[in-house]
């Protein structure tokens, strides 16, 4: 049998598998974002405290690091995704309440939401159209995320002791926005080139990128409007 004839079915099978991962990822991602919005709305209507929101966000990190890896290859992973996104949604509630309560805050939230959607659609659409491989930015993203994460922890810790560094927080927000955009490019590329075959893991990665992008844009827009003074 001609080797080319043997390779063709495998290629078609690979394309079908990739399309299935993309479809399942975007469906679960959409459901997760809607769920997050509902939980965030609940946190706002019940006047969730900033401390409660912070605890919920740290609980989400614990779920991401210690629970998700054990379930991402199982059907139960879907439930863990909704638990993770619910905790982050509740943690987002107090932040949204703060911006909604300041002058021009609703416009800041709307603009951040619109920019997040536009950036995601533009970047993912670019990768899906060009099929470009962004695996070369893996090291940059990993090191950048670690620097931004620990930098934000240091600044949050300092603020708890009365030391505030607005410019530092603005820089960290800018880093997270840039890195989150890169993460969208990287994971979408990873899916279409067969590097990511688990739609639950792909959903979590893209969700985290969108969540960080949205909150970073909130802080940046708030800072330039004077809302974070």
Q: For 93-97, 123-127, 167-171, 184-188, which range has the lowest pLDDT when averaged over its residues? A: 167-171
Q: How confident is the model at residue 168 (pLDDT cuts 50, 70, 90)?
A: confident
Q: For 5-14, 118-127, 185-194, which range has the lowest pLDDT when averaged over its residues? A: 5-14
* Whole-number Å distance between alpha carbons of 137 and 118: 22
Q: What is the mean pLDDT of the chain?
A: 91
* Whole-number Å distance between alpha carbons of 171 and 212: 14
Residue 2 pLDDT greater than 70, yes or no = no
Q: Tell me what pLDDT residue 227 has.
A: 59
Q: How confident is the model at residue 3 (pLDDT cuts 50, 70, 90)?
A: very low
Query: Directed axis angle between helix 3-45 and helix 166-192, to 10°?
Result: 150
Residue 211 pLDDT greater than 60, yes or no = yes
| Percent of the chain scoring above 90 in pLDDT | 80
Residue 153 pLDDT greater than 70, yes or no = yes
Q: Tell me what pLDDT residue 162 has.
A: 75
Rounded average pLDDT over 173-186:
97
Query: Directed axis angle between helix 199-225 and helix 166-192, to 10°?
Result: 150
* Whole-number Å distance between alpha carbons of 148 and 129: 30
| pTM reported for the whole predicted model | 0.91
Higher pLDDT, 170 or 11: 170
Q: Tell me what pLDDT residue 5 has.
A: 41
| Percent of the chain scoring above 70 in pLDDT | 93
Q: How confident is the model at residue 167 (pLDDT cuts 50, 70, 90)?
A: confident
Interval 181-192: pLDDT, tens: 999 999 999 999
* Whole-number Å distance between alpha carbons of 205 and 184: 8
């Amino acid at each position: 049998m001609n080797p080319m004839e043997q390779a063709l079915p495998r290629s078609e099978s690979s394309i079908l598998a990739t399309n299935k991962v993309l479809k399942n990822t975007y469906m679960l991602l959409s459901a997760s974002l809607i769920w997050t919005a509902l939980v965030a709305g609940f946190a706002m209507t019940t006047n969730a405290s900033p401390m409660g929101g912070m605890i919920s966000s740290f609980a989400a990190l614990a779920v991401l690091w210690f629970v998700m890896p054990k379930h991402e290859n199982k059907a139960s992973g879907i439930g863990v995704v909704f638990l993770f996104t619910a905790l982050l949604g509740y943690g987002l509630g107090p932040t949204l309440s703060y911006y909604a309560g300041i002058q021009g805050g609703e416009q800041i939230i709307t603009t951040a939401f619109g920019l997040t959607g536009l950036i995601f659609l533009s970047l993912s659409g670019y990768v899906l159209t060009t099929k470009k491989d962004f695996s070369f930015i893996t090291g940059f993203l990993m090191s950048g995320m670690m620097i931004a994460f620990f930098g934000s922890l240091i600044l949050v810790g300092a603020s708890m002791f009365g030391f505030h560094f607005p410019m530092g927080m603005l820089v960290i927000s800018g880093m997270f926005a840039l890195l989150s955009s890169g993460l969208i490019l990287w994971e979408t590329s990873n899916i279409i080139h067969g590097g990511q075959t688990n739609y639950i893991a792909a959903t979590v990665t893209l969700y985290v990128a969108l969540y960080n992008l949205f909150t970073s844009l909130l802080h940046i827009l708030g800072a330039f409007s004077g809302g974070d003074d």
